[in-house]
């Protein structure tokens, strides 16, 4: 699979089997993340690989976040939400939690550290696709909650930027997705200034 094909055929796949993923493939995906561009070579990404019983660490974190976010943490509704959240990591055999750990230096722009880790996640998704695995990048408020940092041992300036759920794809999923034509979202600027959304030859 060449780069163009990988970019155009990758899709978010949330339904996977519980078949074990070889460690070598997981390591290949992790290494792909480390080749993302990062300004000043700060390498701000951090990875947590959750497999088997290890997934319960994320389940406990999600459960605690659900309770903490409820208007009444002791209510039956909060308990039900916490229990539901606890089971979410069991949807895939492997979850790679990806976090950013911004380097504290006067010349480092924090937003660029986030950009580097987002690029790392895209590398990882493409690598997983190239290996024939299904992957989906999940985010949301629980990822950014302070309790998530506590459970993963992250610092106060660190932030979880997503959970990559990995597995062997289940068959029969609808993977046809449309994208807006780039022409509708592009302005060409040359020596004569902006020439509109479609380049004039």
Residue 78 pLDDT > 90 = yes
Q: What is the CATH number of domain 3-172?
A: 3.40.109.10
H helices, E strands: number in the chain: 7, 6
Tens of pLDDT, residue by residue over 152-179, are 999 999 999 999 999 999 987 767 788 9
What are 68's strand-pairing partners?
Answer: none
Binding site members = 10-12, 39, 137-139
Binding site members for FMN = 10-12, 39, 137-139
Residue 124 CA to residue 116 CA, distance in Å, equals: 12
Grade residue 201 by pLDDT with cuts at 50, 70 and 90.
low
Is the pTM above the cut of 0.75?
yes
Residue 200 pLDDT > 70 = no
């Amino acid at each position: 699979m060449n780069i163009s094909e990988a970019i155009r055929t990758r899709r978010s796949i949330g339904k996977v089997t519980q078949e074990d993923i070889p460690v070598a493939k997981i390591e290949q995906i992790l290494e792909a993340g480390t080749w993302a561009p990062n300004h000043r070579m700060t390498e701000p990404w951090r990875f947590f690989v959750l497999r088997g019983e290890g997934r319960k660490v994320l389940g406990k974190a999600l459960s605690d976040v659900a309770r903490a976010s409820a208007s009444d943490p002791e209510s039956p509704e909060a308990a039900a939400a916490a229990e539901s959240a606890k089971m979410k990591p069991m949807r895939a055999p492997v979850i790679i939690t990806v976090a950013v750990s911004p380097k504290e230096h006067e010349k480092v722009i924090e937003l660029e550290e986030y950009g580097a880790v987002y690029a790392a996640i895209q590398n990882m998704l493409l690598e997983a696709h190239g290996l024939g695995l299904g992957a989906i990048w999940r985010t949301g408020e629980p990822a950014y909650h302070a309790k998530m940092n506590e459970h993963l041992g992250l610092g106060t300036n660190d932030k979880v930027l997503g959970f990559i759920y990995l597995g062997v794809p289940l068959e029969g999923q609808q993977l046809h997705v449309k994208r807006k034509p780039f022409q509708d979202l592009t302005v060409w600027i040359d020596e004569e200034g902006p020439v509109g959304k479609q380049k004039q030859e």
